[in-house]
Structure 1
Amino acid sequence: MNHSPAASERSLLQEFAAAFPQSSADVQIFRAPGRVNLIGEHTDYNDGFVMPAAISFDVRVACARNKSGQLVMRSLQQSQTETFSVDDQSPTPKHDWTDYTRGVLLQLARTSHRIPGADVLIDGQVPMGAGLSSSAALEVASALALLHTTERTSDPTEVAKLCQRAENEFVGARCGIMDQFASANGRSGHALLLDCRSLEFSYVPLPPNIAVVICNTMVKHSIAGGEYSKRRAECEECVRYFARIRPGISSLRDVTEDVFREHAGGLADVLLRRCRHVIRENARVLGAAGAFARDDIKSVGQLMYASHASLRDDYEVSCPELDIMVDLARSIPGTYGSRMTGGGFGGCTVSLVAKGSVDEFRTQVRDGYERATHVCPEIYLPDIADGAGPAS
């Protein structure tokens, strides 16, 4: 994450030539960014609204076509070379880093994009297990690289949908569309207001005097774990309850605040709280979009704090370290808002901070968090980046 893009590309090409000398003349590099979600957590798989932004930490995939009928994979972050048949229509997941690219390969084959064989070298610069979508970035970069070997292209939104299917069906994580969509469709200096039902979206300009600061608790998380799937199942149970009352309801997106208030008494307490989070988080996303449009960053910040409280108390996906980080941020002058970001159970917070206050923010958060937890956090100040494409 400390290398310039040009230096990273030169280094990656040199590594590729050493690993795959027979195909290095035809190598191309594709990049896909991670993302940070400003507001709208656990709403994407409920057909709701989210506001992510692509960040300048990315995954780069160097790829060249081969004629072996094999997908040959290496990663700069891993020590081994892995080889798989491109014609295997019933592959078995290995439950490791290769599954993301292999899942994409399988989805491409199912959509009539036959890959003749490819040599692939991966350089991942998105912190893993931090809730910044390292897996989605790998999937999207892999999709663009493998598509290039077929001499075909695809619309960014179609790439995002294909990569989501890869993670749902092969990796086994029941994620929504947000992560892949933000990686594919990001725009420098902008967040995306995304409707996860229609996939309609608009770009939200971010104020130039505000920094997006990401604080890593160093507590690892994985959305392939059981708690994430449990939350999704709880939401589905809520939908079944409300659909019996109002037949037109097909997701929690359809449950209005009035309907919720009228009928929430029939839900078990835990389901009531899950449902309340999703309904009100959707409202917070739309409220934040309106506040950004008015340049009312103070209101955006208050919505972020409310989002974190809901994720902590109603959705129960925070953890003590995330709560400490948000409380620290809130106490520092120049901080407009802060909340956990990503699936939860660890990972990162995102804060909106006046640019003139960033140095003091970093010092106070680092020192305060280390005093409270005896762990030194990582603090990132990424650029808000363009979406995936060929490396420049």
Structure 2
Amino acid sequence: MMANIERIFKDKEGFRGFRAPGRVNLIGEHTDYHYGFVLPVSINKFFYFYLRQNRENKFRVFSENFNDYYEFDYSNLIFNREKTWINYLMGVISEIKKLRGEIPYFDAYLYGEVPMGAGLSSSAAYEVSVAYGINEYFDLKIDKKEIAKLSQRAENNFVGAPCGIMDQFIATFGREKTALLIDTLTLDYEHIPFDIKSRGLRLVVVDTKVKHSIAGEGYSTRRREGEEALRILQKYLNINSLRDLDEEGYELSQKILPSPLKERVAHVYNENRRVLNFVNDLKNDNWENLPKYMLDSHLSLKNLYEVTCEELDFLVEKALEYGAFASRMTGGGFGGSTINLVPESIIDNWIEKITVSYENKFGFKPDVLVLETSDGVREI
């Protein structure tokens, strides 16, 4: 079998390649599935997808990361519990089939450099690179907004992860030296200038290297709590989502909702406003206000939404103590990473201090990634 795999993939002759970036969310955490506002940036860590049509009446796929091969046809386009890495590609094919019918069979080669489990959205980079690549290769004429949406549906419907639209959207529409303001209700978006190097800053992600066992369950629980709060509020207010709350509705929510529902609503309501204030200050060059928004976001995620953990809280505290301009957790929480804006003049010393202090505290080193912003999905 391995000889056959090497023959298919060794030279990539006839293959077309595509890549989509991972992302870091600057601010706007746990707002996207409440149809709120988010502000991610796409990063220079990518998922690569190469494909070439074949005449074998089956999809033949090799993953370099897993050093694994899998083949299937339309009769067994079903969730695979053993080779979970294939499900994202199968999910995208399933969603494209619903839109355009069956596409021709192809060989595919997969490689991802977005760290898995770090909260940098390796799965969305995977889905978007595959969806965009298939669309371009077979000229299916699916527009880019639908590429993002079908990629999200692949993760929701096939993989079974209840993610919002943010990750797939930034992988599709990201642009170098900008952040992407996304209204997850209307899917309107705006590129906001975010040239941190001109400010003498670097974008640094510190990966805790932990993912607590509650992560999946905790994420689903937070979604259910938000939906439960919404149902109660809809008895009093004409709203379709927590995003629709105005100041009066928010004040009512804090009076009538029990804990922890009122705390969850408080986070979502105020986080949406932090995103819009953050964007406004970016546009007006008021960078001095950004650290407070990011810290307030982290503290809200810690105290109101309860999705941080000891490792994340420690990293944010030490990041600021050692001279970071701004810091907060990013991603779903319960592990994962922090995002930090660090003065370039202290970057090496800062990384050394944060690494040593974390290892002294927890017994192992974090991963530290100094990142650049990047463009969204494209052919390579």
Q: Same fold (TM over 0.5)?
A: yes
Please tell me the residue identity of whatever aligns with 2:224: A
The answer to which of 78-87 and 269-278 deviates more is 78-87
Please tell me the residue identity of whatever aligns with 1:187: R
Superposed CA deviations along residues 163-205 of structure 1, whole A, max 9, x for unmatched, are: 0000000111111000000000000011101100011111111
**Structure-2 residue corresponding to 1:254:** 244
Deviation at 1:366, TM superposition (A): 1.1
Unmatched segments (≥5 aa) in structure 1: 1-14
Identity %: 38
**Structure-2 residue corresponding to 1:337:** 326
Q: 1:22 to 1:332 in 2, by over 3 A?
A: closer
Matches within 5 A, 1:14-25: 18-20=6-8, 24-25=12-13
1:378 is matched with which residue: 349, 358, 367?
A: 367
1:108 is matched with which residue: 87, 96, 99?
A: 96
**Structure-1 residue corresponding to 2:340:** 351
2:236 is matched with which residue: 245, 254, 264?
A: 245
CA RMSD of aligned residues (A): 2.0
Deviation at 1:157, TM superposition (A): 1.5
Q: d(CA) in 1 for partners of 2:179 and 2:106?
A: 34
Contact in 1 for aligned 2:9/2:109 (Cα 8 Å): no
Three-state SS of the structure 1 residue aligned to 2:163 is coil
Q: d(CA) in 1 for partners of 2:371 and 2:4?
A: 27
Three-state SS of the structure 2 residue aligned to 1:347 is strand
**Structure-1 residue corresponding to 2:177:** 189
1:284 aligns with 2:274: yes
Q: 1:21 to 1:194 in 2, by over 3 A?
A: closer
Contact in 1 for aligned 2:302/2:308 (Cα 8 Å): yes
Q: d(CA) in 2 for partners of 1:223 and 1:195?
A: 29
Q: d(CA) in 1 for partners of 2:315 and 2:95?
A: 39
Deviation at 1:362, TM superposition (A): 1.1
1:161 aligns with 2:149: yes
Q: d(CA) in 2 for partners of 1:91 and 1:215?
A: 36
2:79 is matched with which residue: 79, 92, 109?
A: 92
Unmatched segments (≥5 aa) in structure 2: none
Deviation at 1:275, TM superposition (A): 0.7
1:34 aligns with 2:22: yes
1:268 aligns with 2:258: yes
Instruction: Name the TM-score, length of structure 1 as normaliser.
Output: 0.91
**Structure-2 residue corresponding to 1:234:** 225
Contact in 2 for aligned 1:172/1:224 (Cα 8 Å): no
Superposed CA deviations along residues 88-128 of structure 1, whole A, max 9, x for unmatched, are: 5x623436111111100000000015221011111110000
Deviation at 1:258, TM superposition (A): 2.4
Contact in 1 for aligned 2:253/2:262 (Cα 8 Å): no
Three-state SS of the structure 2 residue aligned to 1:176 is coil
Q: d(CA) in 2 for partners of 1:21 and 1:130?
A: 29
Q: d(CA) in 2 for partners of 1:223 and 1:98?
A: 24
Contact in 1 for aligned 2:215/2:333 (Cα 8 Å): no
Q: 1:37 to 1:218 in 2, by over 3 A?
A: same
1:362 is matched with which residue: 341, 351, 376?
A: 351
**Structure-2 residue corresponding to 1:126:** 114
Deviation at 1:48, TM superposition (A): 0.2
Please tell me the residue identity of whatever aligns with 2:21: P
Contact in 2 for aligned 1:39/1:52 (Cα 8 Å): yes
Deviation at 1:22, TM superposition (A): 10
1:55 is matched with which residue: 43, 49, 52?
A: 43
Q: 1:224 to 1:353 in 2, by over 3 A?
A: closer
**Structure-2 residue corresponding to 1:295:** 285
Three-state SS of the structure 2 residue aligned to 1:83 is strand
Please tell me the residue identity of whatever aligns with 2:343: A
